[in-house]
Structure 1
Amino acid sequence: MKFFASLFLCLTVTCASAQQADSIVVTIQQAEEIFLKKNLLLLASRYQVDAAKANEIQEKLYPNPTFSTDLATYGDNRKWFDIGRRGQKQFGLDQLIILAGKRNKRVQLAREQTRETDLAFYDLLRTLKYELRASFYTQVYATELATQYTEQLQWLQQLINSYEQEANRRNVSLKDAVRLKSEYIQLSADRNAVIMDALNAQQTLQLLLDTSVNVMPSKEEWAGRPLPSRETLLETAKKERADLRMKYSQVKQEELNYRLQKAMAVPDVTVGAGYDQDGNYVSNFYSLRASIDLPFFNRNQGQIKQAKAQIRVAGLEKDYKELTIEKEIAGSYARLLEAEKEYQFSQTGFNKDFPAVNRSVIENFNKGNMSMLEFMDFFQNYNTAMRQVNELRKQRRLAWEELEYVTGASLD
């Protein structure tokens, strides 16, 4: 057992030294700054916005004119490619004239699509930022709890060493030493589970910050903030939630598309001019021409009907999103209130003097002033309370982050 304890301490020191050599210590503000600059998904989303803006530019362009030519290849005069002064050639230049404001309507639709893409970027930012903050605080509290476990394990190891020596001298029962070792194994397993949580959070942080070094969150004291009313939070969410504003944008897009499809029922006009050297009723014939589709059969009826139905679809999806946000606010608000209540209750039962009491109990037990049963009862209860208080503090912090996430805005 001494060998494993020594190995454990050596590995802990070695890992700590390696982490210091290849790690960065960041506050939550610094982590967010790195995240905004380096996150790959955010960079890709920014390019999506640029692509949408390029499409908006494209829709503003007018159609190009069309140039056509007809050159003589072979005729009755038995000459090949007779396109000289006495031959034949024909030229034409045509321009499509878009009617019924179709171009402006396409530009308006493209502009609204760009706005939706921009909102999608901010919704992605909201989601990833919440994931970043949740992982940051998960690692903060997991690291804190792991440190407390390590301290308890060190105290326990000292007791085990002492009891093994006394058991060899037959001054204490061997079963007491075994009992302490069993508690050590259980406590070590609990610590390992906490470290696994910290490692998972670390992996997420490295991915979000696009780094291969260990990210060491800097713990900051947080006393909480005044909680706005649920009605205020709901009004804020309706203004700030990018995914809801995307639904509003989609409704507007469908309305713009409906207007565009109605305009598409109006045919466009093509106008042009031509020159015919010797293929018409007179030589060197100049002409003006115009053409238009006759809307006898296809008046875009299907597309108009579809666009009208899509307006109703987008409206219902927008209403559903509003209802979803209302329920999310209510649920997150209730969870935060419950977390705050439990945290405040824990503060009255587990105060800052408890660690000193814990050390005093361990020292008294080591001096033989307490029985094994009394010590184990206190030691286990203390560790349980330590773990639960840490969990309550973490859940309180994460509940606040969740409320900011579902509101879509900082609540400072």
Structure 2
Amino acid sequence: MRLLTVISFLVFFSAEFTQAQTSAAAQPRRDSLTISLRQADSLFLKNNLLLLAERFRIDASQAQVLQASLYDNPNVTLELSAYNNEARRVLDVGRQGEKIISIQQLLYTAGKRNKRIALASEAARLTEFELLDLLRGLRFDLRSRFFSIYFQEQTLARFDQQMATLQTTVSAYEQQYQRNNISLRELLRLKALLFQLNNDRTEIVFQLADDQRALRTLLSVDQPIRPRVFNETLPRYHLPNQSEDTLQQMALRNRPDLKAAESLTRQAELNYNLQRALATPDLRVGGTYDQAGSYIQNYVGLSVSADVPVFNRNQGAIRAARSQISYQKQLHQQKAVQVSNDVATALQKVQEVERRVQSVEGQFTNQFDELNRGVITSFQKGNLSLIEFVDLIEAYNDSIRQLNRLKADRISAYEELNYLVGTDLFR
């Protein structure tokens, strides 16, 4: 009876301590950054260094388009008489001397300039698709980490409540052990339970630290992130109204990595056209002024020159470009098959995780919370043995941990579907 009285007092004290600890935990730390998902998205677009760096690649690719549109500079040659033997003059360039001035301009044939511009423009489009694909992947990582942190903090809050109760109970048992009211076996069993709970908590803290590090890197901040989730945020994730075939068609239209594969195929075709055009010789048109070295004084001539395509007709490059088209087309088809399969698999994951959550989230959670409260009361009244108390506490803690992990997996599955379809289905 004396032991039960002590436990009753300690359980009451533990409840008060737990309430105070929960209130303190609800207050955000001064050095933390409390943000909603929408604010995290905004901060990500503004601060992420990988996105900022990728924009410079787009500028560079646009500059390549400008470069491809430029004409070649004319070539000017000036030839002077170094020494006049008859007049014995050095650099005799006067009226009686000699100088030759010639100018040449390269003229592209077969539309080579326009073909180079088209190829550079397609390469610039590819860079834009790569930026969109990078944005898609980083945003998926951002949202998955955001909700993972949120649910892990929920688990830690429950664990802290349990640890406060167990720590107080262990202290009470230690006092009773010193008075020889309980056995060492009972005390060690409670300490083992507290030790296991601490180990589980440490594992969650380590995972939380990894997610925090990744999220802070994505947002380019050095403060711990405290996710703030509004009541309307989680319900927006629900089974999509679109059919599997519709989602696959959406992915084929929207996925930037698939558009990048299309762009590579288009580049291969444009390069083939360019290589065929390069087989046509270009023209060099120019003029020459010769003061005294021709058959008449002050000779002015017009020149036109071109390579004769006898040996090199760009055969190898044309053949390679043709093979590259077939290669890129095969990769594009393979990518399209992969996209369709990815969407189908992601939809199956969403359906399965939604089924699991719906089956346990409501009644199961309430029952376990009620059971947890009843366990403490029953143990206080002596209606539960120590072994039963420990087993029920372990079952409750493991269930809470698994349930919050399931909720995080649910959001991650929906965000993966967003990622694979290439658009935000749940706004």
TM-score, with length taken from structure 1? 0.93
Q: In 1, distance between residues paired with 2:28 and 2:290?
A: 84
| Alignment match, 1:49 | 58
The reply to whether residue 138 of structure 1 matches residue 151 of structure 2 is no
Residue 353 of structure 1, CA deviation: 5.0
| Alignment match, 2:164 | 154
* Aligned residue-pair number: 402
Residue 261 of structure 1, CA deviation: 0.8
The reply to whether residue 66 of structure 1 matches residue 75 of structure 2 is yes
Residue 388 of structure 1, CA deviation: 1.6
Return the letter of the residue paired with 1:72: S
For residues 232-243 of structure 1, the aligned pairs below 5 Å read 232-243=246-257
Aligned partner of 1:295 among 306, 309, 330: 309
| Alignment match, 2:35 | 26
Return the letter of the residue paired with 2:368: F
Q: In 2, distance between residues paired with 1:17 and 1:326?
A: 44
The reply to whether residue 401 of structure 1 matches residue 410 of structure 2 is no
Residue 76 of structure 1, CA deviation: 2.3
Q: Which runs of 4+ in 1 moved over 3 A?
A: 15-19
Q: In structure 2, do the counterparts of structure 1 residues 348 and 355 end up closer, same or farther at CA, with 3 Å as the change threshold?
A: closer
Q: In 1, distance between residues paired with 2:288 and 2:185?
A: 110
Residue 349 of structure 1, CA deviation: 5.2
Return the letter of the residue paired with 1:226: L
After superposition, the C-alpha distances for 1:72-93 in whole angstroms (9 at most, x for unaligned) are 1023223211111110011111
| Alignment match, 1:35 | 44
For the residue of structure 2 that corresponds to 1:94, the secondary structure is: strand
Q: In 1, distance between residues paired with 2:90 and 2:27?
A: 86
Return the letter of the residue paired with 1:48: R
Q: In 2, distance between residues paired with 1:357 and 1:186?
A: 21
Residue 192 of structure 1, CA deviation: 0.7
Q: Report if aligned partners of 2:100, 2:288 keep a CA contact under 8 Å in 1.
A: yes
TM-score, with length taken from structure 2? 0.90
| Alignment match, 2:180 | 170
Q: Report if aligned partners of 1:159, 1:366 keep a CA contact under 8 Å in 2.
A: no
| Alignment match, 2:265 | 251
Q: Report if aligned partners of 1:26, 1:216 keep a CA contact under 8 Å in 2.
A: yes
For residues 244-283 of structure 1, the aligned pairs below 5 Å read 244-283=258-297
Residue 170 of structure 1, CA deviation: 2.6
For residues 220-369 of structure 1, the aligned pairs below 5 Å read 220-221=230-231, 222-223=234-235, 224-227=237-240, 228-347=242-361, 350-369=364-383
Q: In 2, distance between residues paired with 1:337 and 1:134?
A: 18
Q: In structure 2, do the counterparts of structure 1 residues 155 and 190 end up closer, same or farther at CA, with 3 Å as the change threshold?
A: same
Q: In 1, distance between residues paired with 2:179 and 2:239?
A: 61
For residues 84-163 of structure 1, the aligned pairs below 5 Å read 84-163=94-173
Q: In 1, distance between residues paired with 2:391 and 2:25?
A: 32
For the residue of structure 2 that corresponds to 1:159, the secondary structure is: helix
Residue 21 of structure 1, CA deviation: 2.1
Aligned partner of 1:75 among 73, 84, 87: 84
Deviates most, 287-296 or 215-224:
215-224
Residue 348 of structure 1, CA deviation: 5.3
Residue 366 of structure 1, CA deviation: 2.5
Q: Report if aligned partners of 2:239, 2:351 keep a CA contact under 8 Å in 1.
A: no
For the residue of structure 1 that corresponds to 2:91, the secondary structure is: coil
Residue 141 of structure 1, CA deviation: 1.1
Return the letter of the residue paired with 2:252: K
Q: In 2, distance between residues paired with 1:369 and 1:166?
A: 19
After superposition, the C-alpha distances for 1:50-104 in whole angstroms (9 at most, x for unaligned) are 0000000111111111111101102322321111111001111111111111101
For the residue of structure 2 that corresponds to 1:21, the secondary structure is: coil
The reply to whether residue 185 of structure 1 matches residue 200 of structure 2 is no
Q: Which 5+ residue runs of structure 2 have no aligned equivalent? A: 1-13
Q: In 1, distance between residues paired with 2:229 and 2:162?
A: 21
Q: Report if aligned partners of 1:155, 1:362 keep a CA contact under 8 Å in 2.
A: no
Residue 169 of structure 1, CA deviation: 2.6
Residue 19 of structure 1, CA deviation: 7.1
For the residue of structure 1 that corresponds to 2:73, the secondary structure is: coil
For the residue of structure 2 that corresponds to 1:352, the secondary structure is: helix
For the residue of structure 2 that corresponds to 1:305, the secondary structure is: helix
Q: Report if aligned partners of 2:84, 2:97 keep a CA contact under 8 Å in 1.
A: no
Residue 359 of structure 1, CA deviation: 2.2
Return the letter of the residue paired with 1:105: K
Q: Which 5+ residue runs of structure 1 have no aligned equivalent? A: none
Q: In 2, distance between residues paired with 1:186 and 1:349?
A: 27
